[in-house]
Amino acid sequence: MKCTINRRAKFSASHRYWLPELNEAENQRLFGLCSRFPGHGHNYELYVSLEGELDEYGMVENLSNVKKVIKEEVTSQLNYAYLNDTWSEFQTTLPTTENIARVIWQKLLPHLSLVNIRLYEHPELWADYQGNNMEASLTVKTHFSAAHRLAKPELSLEENTAIYGKCARTNGHGHNYHLEVSVVGEIDSRTGMLVDLGALQEVIDQLVVEPFDHTFLNKDIPYFIDVVPTAENIALYIAQLLRSPIAELGVELDKVKLIESPNNSCEIHCRKSVGSNNFASSQEPAMVM
């Protein structure tokens, strides 16, 4: 039986998004504030995931060795570095979060049984890479506050209470929802980007955050007049809203995760629905609670 283990590491580094073959206006249009000279920095958080059979000592790999490899091959070289000048790979493809994750995979693969590299640029933006050539995923995290009531209109208060408990109370209740949207695409071999991050954020803000924030979902969002706004249904509707606009950005919606509270979250795995325009038809196999 195989087991997956994860090792965390951290490094602080700076970088700049700038292509010398473009003029200043073109770089600013393409990269925004990230094009400013001399660059900007992040406290990166790295998760290295390994998979394998347990050995006679009860380990997939000796974590002391894993720690040593990560330090020698990655963190000792990147910590307090200007990434554009650190590794030759960043001379041809810019050190975006997704491309850094890809190159870290390449550095560690000869030494470790990798299954995933996850790199956080900050707590609301991270990339995952699994060795699929130039394919990677990028996740952005945002939030909105909203109220809802869980009740089917054709049922009595007693019947709804039997199903939904306190959530059926007539005046509703609220949550600070946290939303994670993951997209999958090909890393551009020059810019290092798989999607225009500003455009992606704008789509999420315009279609979800602004319409949903500080609303009573049952009454203010027409979709939920007839659909009970459970966390599952909210996530499913968000996936429906985002799928086509995100495709227009040249990437594929991979996953929508909605965190209703520290104790309750759900995920819609959208790529499992390929070939179907009806998310509800594939709700059960695509949802993880």
**Catalytic residue status for 40:** no
Say how far apart CA 107 and CA 188 lie, in whole Å: 20
Say how far apart CA 37 and CA 191 lie, in whole Å: 17
Residue of 51, 111, 167, 232 with catalytic role? 167
Tokens representing 151 are 């009740």
Query: Using an 8 Å Cβ cutoff, are 180 and 262 in contact?
Result: no
CA dihedral 269, 272, 278, 282 (to 10 degrees): -80
Say how far apart CA 204 and CA 169 lie, in whole Å: 30
The CA-based angle 262-158-265, given to 5 degrees, is 15
Say how far apart CA 138 and CA 204 lie, in whole Å: 14
| Nearest CA among 273, 251, 257, 15 for reference residue 137 | 251
**Catalytic residue status for 260:** yes
**Catalytic residue status for 3:** no
| Nearest CA among 193, 180, 185, 182 for reference residue 254 | 182
DSSP string, 215-233: EEHHHHSGGGGTS---HHH
| Nearest CA among 204, 209, 229, 191 for reference residue 95 | 191
Q: Name the one residue in this structure whose structure tokens are 């990269």.
A: 31
Query: Using an 8 Å Cβ cutoff, are 175 and 125 in contact?
Result: no
Residue of 40, 122, 173, 214 with catalytic role? 214
Residue of 73, 121, 180, 260 with catalytic role? 260
Catalytic residues: 167, 214, 260
